Structure formats: C-alpha cells, structure tokens
Structure 1
Amino acid sequence: MQQKVEINGQSRRQMQKAINEKKKKSRDVTGQEDDADDDDDVSERNCPGIKSKDAGKASACSGCPSQQICASGPKGPDPGIELVQNRLEQVKNKILILSGKGGVGKSTVTALLSRALAADDSERNVAVLDIDICGPSQPRVLGVLGEQVHHSGSGWSPVYVDDNLSVMSIGFLLSTPDDAVIWRGPKKNGMIRQFLSEVDWGKLDYLLIDTPPGTSDEHLSATTYLSEADLTGAIIVTTPQEVALLDVRKEIDYCRKVGIKVLGVIENMYLFVCPCCQKLSEIFPATTGGARRMCEDLDVTYLGGLPLDPKIARYCDEGKNFITEMPNSSITDSCKNIIKELAKYRKETH
C-alpha cells in the first residue's frame, strides 16, 4: 500500500506542479530556465568527478547518495589491471560468452565450444573460466565435479579435463556442490579479479569465459579487467523466441557501449532432434525471424545454430564429451562450423 508523503502540507505531486509552474513563468518572462531553485542540476554541473582529489569532499557533493563511495574510492588506476594483464599475456584469444536471458544454454554452449576447439587440434590449448559466481555449472558439465584446486607459488592451478582443456570455477572451492554462494557485488568482483590475476593458465590459444545472464556486477568487473588485457570479443547465446531476443538486443547494446567487439550470435535450440527418427523439427517458433533476422537488423554476425538433442542433457549431467562420443551428430557438425567462423577472429601470436 502506497503512503502519501507530505512536506509542509504539500504532497510531492503538488510540489512538483508548483516548481513546474514557476519554471514556466520564468521562461515566459526571460526565455530561459530559472535554475535558482534547481539544486540537483547545480550539483550535477559542479560534480568534481570520481577521479578528482575532491571527489566526495566538494560542496557540490553534499547530499549526493554516492558521496561516501567517491570519498573512499581509489583515485588512480586499479592495480589489479596490471596483474591481470601480466597473467593473461600468454593467452592469445580471450572470449566472453554472454546471454541476455538465463536458461538459453549458455554454459552448455561454452562447454561444447571448448570441447570442439580442443578436439579439433590436439596441439591447441583451451581453457574455460566460470565466473557465474552464484551458479557455477562448468565442473559438472565438463565432468570434473569434486576435483580440488591446488595453490602454489605461481598461483592457482586449473583443473584439467583433458591434456589440452582446463577449467577454473568457484565450484571447486565450495565444500559441497549444494552450497549457496550468497555474496554482494564487491565480493564477487574480488573473486573475479583473483581468477583473472592468480590462475596459472600457462600458454593458451583460447580462454572462454562463461558469465551469468544479464549485465550485472560480474560483467562489469570482467569487462574492466579484460578490456585492458586485449579481449578478443564476445559471443552471445540466445534461443529463437522474441522473449529471449529482447534481452540479447540489450546485451549487444551493452557490448557496444563498453567497447566490446561482438564476434557473433549463436542460436541455441533452434531445432529439435527427434530421439527416435533423428528428424529435425521446430519447437521454439521464431516469431520475429529468430536470431538470424535480428543479426541482419543489428549488423552482427550470425555464427550458427545448435539444435536441441535430448542426449545433450544426459551427457552434461554425466560430464561426458558429446563432441567425441557423438562425432556424426548434427550438434557436433554445427559446433565444427561455428569454430570455423571463430577462426576469422583468431589471433596466432601472444
């Protein structure tokens, strides 16, 4: 139930109406806005900025909700950026795997791509970093649930799935897989910084970074560090329905605003593979043309589609390698085509 807030006998709506009337009269007389009573605008114009030595201390900061944060924040570059740069300098291609909406199969797609990249060339070193702090799934999907992470003088050692495929996840640091991670943004950001600066990956050809859905603290933190560490770009995963594409458009907008190159979009579950006859059929109608149409409209590369095969769920639950155990499946063929598209963005030198 909403409460009616009154100040000096006036409701907020009445006060706002009075202010608007005053401004209108001022414009009628002078042709200009009367800013004398507009304290918020004055404060905004006089804001010293978060990097200033006066941040949070200037008179314009009085009453600002961010005053304490600005006053206590660092005034110089984040020292963690240099640590991340040094740690990842031997990683050729760093790719964020994003999704606007949860439940589109982003973690499954990340695992499939990592398996496909590793299987395509035994000399290619691939790794997965799971920064979905509150919902880590890569340990189970990649079949290494219950493994322990070792720490040495050179940093954390990732867990090896195969000779040329490794993974790091907060899932390895939990007492049990059922433990809930109940952290606020700063602690999540600190964990991501640790992963990026302290994991000893060695020389890598590809580092795929599995993120949570949306554009939250984890994304901003990863973007801050990786943008200064030669980030290759981002792959966005979606399903054909408009309800998923709505959020993907926001994700693409986010990437463009923060300067991340969108390598392309993968349309997951765009067809269904019948377990009996292997016939392909549509179960999620592309009511607005699907991801391909959206990519055309937004000038983004359509990397390809992955069909929905019931076997995928079982293989993920059991941690098995779908790519090598089902080499002739339509999903394996699609993954191979997608990594061929990715090769266009590949960097060959560190």
Structure 2
Amino acid sequence: MIRWLLIFMALALSARAQDRVVNIYNWTDYIDPSVLADFTRETGIKTRYDVFDSLETLEAKLFAGHSGYDIVLPSNEPSFSRLIKAGALTPIDRAKVPNWKNLDPVLMQRVESSDKDNRHGAIYLWGSIGLGINPDRIHAVAPDAPLNSWALLLDPKWAKQVAPCGIIMMDSAIDVVPSVLRYLGRSPDGATPEDFDAVSKALMAIRPYIREFASGGALEALATGQACLALDYSGDVDQAGARAREAGKGVNVTYVVPKEGAEIGFDMLSIPADAPHKEEALAFIDFVLRPDIMARITDATRYPNAIPATRALVKTTLLDDPNVFPTDAVMQRFFTIGPSTQAADRARTRLWARFKAGN
C-alpha cells in the first residue's frame, strides 16, 4: 500500500511539474521572444503568450473576469489605477521577487500616484505618445509644415496638405484625448463637457484626412512608407525606423516629441486577482527584472526600462538615441495623466465613436 501511495504522489508531482505555465497578455511587439524560451529553459515553466494593441481591449478582458491570464501589462494611467481600484489586480509578494531591488526608485515613485506604495506592479517598459513622421515625404507635399508640433496633425491646414502621403491615427481614445487637450492648452486630465466638446471639434476638423485607425498596424505602415504621419508610441516609431533602415529602400522614419508636450506612460507587470498560476507569475516577474534579461528586452523593443543596471548592457546605439533614452531637456516636455472617472470614460468613448464614424 505504501509503495502504491508513493508512486501516486510521484506521478502527481510529475504532472504538476509538467503543468507549470504562465499565461501572459502583453502589448504587440513588446518582448524579445528568446526571453520566453530562456525563462522556460531555466525554470521549467512554460509560457502562453497573447497580445493586445489597445488599453480598451485589455480592460475589457480583465473586467469581464476569468481571463485566464497570469501576467498583464496595463499602462499606469488610466488602466492600471482603474484595475487596482476595481480589485482586479493582486498585490505583489515582493519576498518572492528578489530582483525587485533592481528597479529605479525615482521612476517607481512616478507611478505611486496610480498605485500607493507600489503594491500591485513593477515597471516593465515605458515611453511616450507623440508623432511618427517621414520628414522627406512630408516636406514633399507640405514644405513649410511644422514637424515639431502637434499642429502637424491637429491643425486641419497642415493635415490636409499631409494627407496625400498617408495619416494614421492611433485607435485609442484613452491615449489620444489627453494629447489633444494638451495641444488645445487645456489640462490633459480635463473631463468637463467643455473639454470634450473642444476635443471633438478639433478631431472632427481633421477627420477627412485620416486614412486609417490603427495601433500596432502603424508600425508596419511607417516602416514601408505607406504612411508618412502617425500618432503612435515612441518605441513603435523607433522600431519602424529601424526596420526601414534594415530594408534599405530609402524610407526615413523618426519620432517627434511635440514642442507642446507629450504624454509619458509606464507599462506595469501585474497579476490579475483571479490568475490561475500566481506563483509562476511571480517567477516570471522576477526573471524579467534581471538586468541581463531586461537589457535584451530593451534592445529588441527599443523602449527604455526602469532598471539602471541595464545601461551597461543595452546596445550603445540605443543609449545614444534620445528617442529611446530621452535627454533631461526632453523629459521636461513630458506630462502624466491622473485617474479617470466612469463618467469621463463614457463621454470619451462616445466622443471617439463619433470621431471614427465621422459624424
């Protein structure tokens, strides 16, 4: 009897070891795939990896419940703080994440307004929202266009001139509206009827000149020269520029932080409250917070991270690229946004639906 009991226990432990898995839900083009393979090789924990391209998609999955994911990466505002408030994320057991010590305390302090005492997440990567441009093609159709300003996109005078070479708008009200408010001289957190009316008027004025709404798709369109202007994430534009150079077809893509300012955001490694594999999730967070691993992720994605020790490990070309590691002067032009109310969310969603429909 004892022998059969021992055999049963051994089989059960073996099955458990084989079943160890972490289900990850991350942004498109936002990791070095070899990192996933190395995590499995070192820990024996398999990875299942899905992607999203907007915060709206991520929030819909998590608020519906039972997403099946163990690791999710919401931006600190508004999604991360909103998920915390709703009880959709679980606190991180730092005793099981020894590499937490590698995080930059100054950057972690920036997200404390979203997560008091940094209880629910660690910074994965961060970046800003600005303009991806092909200056050569824009100059060909609009020689006097202001390449350093939101006016290039949001002033209908310039949008009309640039439209023939292709304008792509990020398909995310959460990300776009604060930038429009900033351009209009209003608070990026503005949520009054007057604020949304002003945003609606500004967006509807350029609606005829928007070729496409996309998030992840803007990267490929910029890289291949199918579009010359896109409102997009900094790292995506930098990836597009790198791909264009590798293709060697004369496509020139660069990222612009508009002079009026650009929103900066932090994507947070966090664990859903109903995650089925919390221990495996903690192991994954600890793994990617190693400087050697995070440096590889920055090299692949061209987004900066929050681990100072990676500076000695990432590619020199990225360290010297102000679009990846912004200078102090550029950092002064960045702004962050605060939590949003449900009423503001509903108003923003209605505004966006009308904008996309063009009415």
Does the pair score TM above 0.5?
A: no
Greater C-alpha radius of gyration:
1
TM-score (normalised: structure 1): 0.26
Which structure dedicates a bigger proportion of its chain to helix? 2
Q: Which has the higher contact order (CA 8 A, sep 6+)?
A: 2
